[in-house]
Amino acid sequence: MENIQAPNSVHEEEKNKEEAPTFSRRSFLKNTGIAFVLLFALGGAGAVVKGKTLLRPPGGQDEEALLAKCLKCDRCRSVCPTSVISPATLTAGIVAARTPAMDFRRGYCDFCNKCVEVCPTGALASFHPDTVRIGKAAVQRDICMAWVKGGCTICAEKCPYDAISLDEHRRPVVNEEKCNGCGVCEYECPVLILRSYIGGRDRGITVKPVDSAPPQVSLVKMINSLAGQGGISDA
């Protein structure tokens, strides 16, 4: 078999066999060390740099489990019939980037379960339709047509769960017990058309993560209670 080899290559092969193992083992250990440092730096950077809290599709409320298992495969976004799932961008943090998030300006959630069905890893876990909460709707009183000028009742009409009631001035108030964050109210809110001159992208009612109370709401509550109108938002 080796009789066809040129003489110099036989010699070289012997040399390689002698020296290659020790050398490659040392360089393997060195490379492993460097790879560990780099990939731990990447993992550490991802763990430290926390982006803003995102609204997740139903079944993705356990944030830690979602980040651990999400492969960023795009299946949930792709299958969503209402296109409400919109992957987070890098502005949400390097780990959260490309993970599924809800954008209620594009659609709303009807809890059809399709995203959970196609999720390969169970990052979106099965959920109970009665208890799942994507977030909770909050009326933005400085933006909302009804609160600023009156006349609009669209969110209250469209809410599939009767979670929005109207106060004595026919202004929308969210019943947080009933709201599951489906986002129909935000999706339907016409304020950016009715009051297009105010600019911005936020609508008159927006779904917020359950855990983090937006500061402006508590500020509004404070002002309300000072003005003797407390209890409206807690109704």
Partner 1 sequence: MHEKKRKIRRLRIISMSAVLGIATIGMIAGLGTGTLSAGGLKKIYAICPLGYLGTAIAGRDLMPGLLICFLIIAGLTILFGRIFCGWVCPIPLERKLLKNKLDEPNRLFHRAKGKDSRERQHGSFETADMKKQAASVDPDEEAVLSAVAADTKKQSSWGMPVLIGALASSAIFKFPVFCLICPIGLTFATLYALIRLFGFKDPTIDLLIFPAIIILELVVLRKWCSKICPLGALLSLFSRLNRRFVPTVDRSRCLETTHGTTCDVCRKACTFDIDVKDGKGSGHISECSKCMECSSSCPVQAIHFPWKKNKKENRTDHVS
Can you give the binding site for partner 1, defined by CB under 8 A? Answer: 1-2, 4-6, 8-9, 12-13, 15-16, 19-20, 23-24, 27-28, 30-36, 38-40, 42-44, 46-47, 64-65, 67-80, 83, 87, 89-91, 94-95, 97-98, 106, 114, 117-118, 120-123
Beta carbon nearer to partner 1, 55 or 138: 55
**Closest distance to partner 1 from the beta carbon of 199 (Å):** 17
**Closest distance to partner 1 from the beta carbon of 102 (Å):** 15
**Closest distance to partner 1 from the beta carbon of 196 (Å):** 16
Query: In the numeric block, which tokens belong to residue 148?
Result: 């600023």
**Closest distance to partner 1 from the beta carbon of 119 (Å):** 9
Beta carbon nearer to partner 1, 64 or 168: 64
